[in-house]
Amino acid sequence: MFTKKMMWSAAVFTLLGVCAAHGQTRIYNTAKQKLMEGKKIVGGTVSTNDPNIYCAMANAGFDFLWIEMQHSPLTYQDVAVMIRGCKGASAIPFIRVPDATEGDIQKAVDIGALGIIIPMVETVQEALNAVQYAKYPPVGVRSQGGGQYGAMWGADYRPTANENVMIIAMIESPKGVAIADKIAAVPGVDVVFAASTDLSSFSGFKQGDPRYEALVTKIHDAVLEAGKKLAGPLAWKDRHGYTFFQGPGESALIQSGAKLALGGGASPTERKGVAPTEGSEK
Residue by residue, DSSP assigns 126-186 as HHHHHHHHHS-TTTS-------SHHHHH-TTHHHHHHHH-EEEEEE-SHHHHHTHHHHHTS
What are the residue ranges spanned by the domains of the chain? 2-253
Distances, alpha carbon 218 to alpha carbons 65, 120, 188, 199, 238, in Å: 27, 17, 21, 12, 18
Which stretches within 26-121 are classed as H helix?
30-36, 51-58, 76-85, 102-110
| pLDDT one-digit tens code per residue, 66-81 | 999 999 999 999 999 9
pLDDT of residue 274: 76
Hey, CA dihedral for 43, 175, 223, 142, is it positive or negative?
Answer: negative
HSE (CB half, 13 Å, CA atoms) of 76?
Answer: 15
Q: Among 205-214, 216-225, 263-272, whose mean pLDDT is lowest?
A: 263-272
pLDDT more than 90, % of the chain = 81
User: 3-class DSSP state for residue 106?
Assistant: helix
Q: What is the pTM of this model?
A: 0.87
pLDDT of residue 267: 52
Distances, alpha carbon 112 to alpha carbons 1, 55, 116, 272, in Å: 33, 15, 11, 35
Nearest residue to 85 (alpha-carbon basis) of 121, 57, 43: 57
pLDDT reading at 163 higher than 70: yes
22 carries an active-site annotation: no
Contact assessment for residue 118 and residue 126, using Cβ atoms and an 8 Å cutoff: yes
Over the chain, what is the mean pLDDT? Answer: 90
pLDDT of residue 20: 44
Model confidence at 264, pLDDT cuts 50, 70, 90, reads confident
pLDDT of residue 273: 74
22, 71, 220, 240: which is the annotated catalytic residue?
71
Rounded-to-integer distance, Cα 64 and Cα 117, Å: 12
Strand partners, 92: 64
Q: Among 20-24, 37-41, 194-198, whose mean pLDDT is lowest?
A: 20-24
| pLDDT one-digit tens code per residue, 243-260 | 999 999 999 999 999 988
Strand partners, 246: 43, 233
CATH number of 2-253: 3.20.20.60
Looking at residue 232, what DSSP letter applies? E
Peptide bond preceding 138 in cis form (omega within 30 of 0): yes
User: 3-class DSSP state for residue 271?
Assistant: coil
User: 3-class DSSP state for residue 76?
Assistant: helix
Hey, CA dihedral for 98, 130, 182, 214, is it positive or negative?
Answer: negative
Sorted by sequence, the CB contacts under 8 Å of residue 34 that are 6+ apart come out as 40, 41, 63
